[in-house]
Amino acid sequence: MTHQETPLVGADVPAKEPEARAFATSPAQFFGGSWHAMHHVDPERLAALQLEAVRMRFAEQRAAIPVLTTMADELGVREIGRIDDVVGLLFQHAVYKSYPAALLVNNRFAQLTRWLDRLTPHDLSSVNVDGCDSIDAWLDVLDAQSELRVLHTSGTAGTMSFLPRSLGDWDRMFEAMRPGLFQFSDPLGERDHTGEYFNLIWPIYRKGRTAIMRMPELALPRLFGSEERVHVLREGRMSSDATYLAARMRAAAARGELDRLEINPALLARRAEFEREQKELMESLPRFIGATIQRVRGQRVWLSGTWNILYNMARAGLAAGLSGVFAADSLITTGGGAKGQTVPDDWEETVRKFTGVERLQHVYAMSETTAMHKMCEHGHYHFEPWVVPFVLDPDDGRPLPREGVQTGRMACFDVLPESYWGGFITGDEVTGHWSPCACGRTTFHIERRIERYVDKRGDDKITCVASDDAQRAALDFLTQRLA
């Protein structure tokens, strides 16, 4: 279907299941490869598509994902009528880290695999994790023996979340993301990007298992084409065990409990190795910049990282006398927030000066969904159409009206994934706009200021009057007979 054939803008007929399936399965193809079409769709038409896609996913996954079955049975939900009906079934973020902590501490990966098996329609009963003595080894086995490419969060609170995303879902995610990557230099999204590859500048490890660290490997067929276009600071994989150890130690130190922290002795013995790798990573940055610039100077590239990674890279480059090093239509993507750090006032200016790119692409994203919601020229993050947004009352969890301007807890339903339930409640307070933006885009958008409820309230207890019992039942089901 070409952009000209896309029957979306101004359409007033209800969405049907085959159309919703095409929309949910391949948003890029459905919108004719046009990011412009994705974000200028008639809001009522998009709402109809989203509702039918949510209904479809629920019908497919209600009996296929055990923990969802438990929640739906507890609530007595057999089908989705209105879009707000799915709110009671959205997973709280605790679901993906609900395993007993002792499973990781004591390398009990058979039990952890059974826990993960309850979160996906993929059958993991035949996965053999005998002999796994680390998180890295466990994830290696899952990569080798299943269709899943599990991702984990960085565990800033001391506990990792694990999400069972399949190879197919990863591939369709990058297919869907591609039309909007270069929206600044291709604002109408009309250029045919098929078969067009570009260089990735990746100032960190080549591989890893967080959502962002999975990207260079799994996006390569869709975005980069070959290994030669992926330029990394350090070969090899960022250790998930190192990430887990660092996160637990930071969280324990913040509580004043570091001396009481229980750590697997084998993991603790690798602490010096992890610290050495981090030191070597920073020391190699100037050499990486010099070597990379020699290969791709003046070319169109994609450079992606959190503000501190981009800032450190830019400072090192400028100190070496390098500025304006990439083509002006290159893509510089950043997100992730400050996470308690002090952000220099000049960090964006420093990055722009080094790269030669006038506008940075700020994105709002979360590990549990398959989209990067990009900021427009008016400072609003526009939600990709395959992610259904909700703004919830922070006190009782009820969905606020889908109109006007609403401030509350961000929640969403991602209709693209087939390997896990796409409904998710975040810890973010946002201000969302349901009316078209001043930039002309019609999609739901949130303001740039985003706060964490844990920072505002001292904790992040999610209350949802409609589903508290179901959430408890789900967590009980996930953890039963595991510890």
The C-alpha atoms of residue 31 and residue 204 are separated, in whole angstroms, by 34
Asked whether residue 144 is domain-assigned, the answer is: no
pLDDT of residue 93: 82
The C-alpha atoms of residue 60 and residue 54 are separated, in whole angstroms, by 10
For the ranges 58-67, 229-238, 253-262, the lowest mean pLDDT is seen at 253-262
**Residue 449: pLDDT band by 50, 70, 90 thresholds?**
very high
> Which residues does residue 255 pair with via DSSP β-bridges, in sequence order?
none
Determine if residue 235 is left, alpha or beta; phi over 0 gives left, psi from -120 to 50 gives alpha, anything else beta.
beta
**Residue 2: pLDDT band by 50, 70, 90 thresholds?**
very low
> Which residues does residue 302 pair with via DSSP β-bridges, in sequence order?
200, 331
The C-alpha atoms of residue 166 and residue 199 are separated, in whole angstroms, by 25
- Per the CB < 8 A criterion, the answer to whether 332 and 305 are in contact is no
Interior angle at CA 240, CA 237 and CA 242, nearest 5: 95
For the ranges 5-9, 73-77, 84-88, 215-219, the lowest mean pLDDT is seen at 5-9
Asked whether residue 196 is domain-assigned, the answer is: no
Give the pairing of strands 151-152 and 199-207. unpaired
pLDDT of residue 478: 82
Q: Which two tokens stand for residue 266?
A: 């084998």
Asked whether residue 272 is domain-assigned, the answer is: yes
pLDDT of residue 42: 95
Asked whether residue 253 is domain-assigned, the answer is: yes
Asked whether residue 266 is domain-assigned, the answer is: yes
Asked whether residue 362 is domain-assigned, the answer is: no
pLDDT of residue 104: 87
Asked whether residue 249 is domain-assigned, the answer is: yes
pLDDT: which is higher, 336 or 91: 91
pLDDT above 90: residue 189: no
pLDDT of residue 9: 38
CA distances from 278 to 139, 167, 170, 283, 340 (A): 22, 29, 28, 9, 20
Backbone CA torsion sign across 4, 6, 7, 10: negative
pLDDT: which is higher, 290 or 462: 290
Angle between helices 468-479 and 66-75 (to 10 degrees): 150
- Rg, C-alpha atoms of the chain: 22
Q: Which two tokens stand for residue 416?
A: 């693209």
pLDDT of residue 195: 60
pLDDT above 60: residue 1: no
Asked whether residue 268 is domain-assigned, the answer is: yes
pLDDT above 80: residue 269: no
The C-alpha atoms of residue 165 and residue 65 are separated, in whole angstroms, by 13
Q: Give per-residue pLDDT as tens, 14-33.
A: 678 889 999 999 999 999 88
Q: Which two tokens stand for residue 456?
A: 């505002």
Tell which residue, 256, 369, 265, 356, has the closest CA to residue 27. Answer: 369
pLDDT of residue 44: 95
| Cβ partners under 8 Å of residue 144, min gap 6 | none
> Which residues does residue 163 pair with via DSSP β-bridges, in sequence order?
151
| CA 3 to the chain's CA centroid | 27
Give the pairing of strands 199-207 and 230-237. parallel
pLDDT of residue 75: 93
The rounded percent of the chain whose pLDDT value lies above 70 is: 91
- Our count of domains for the chain comes to 1
Give residue 266's domain range: 242-278
pLDDT above 50: residue 290: yes
Global pTM value: 0.91
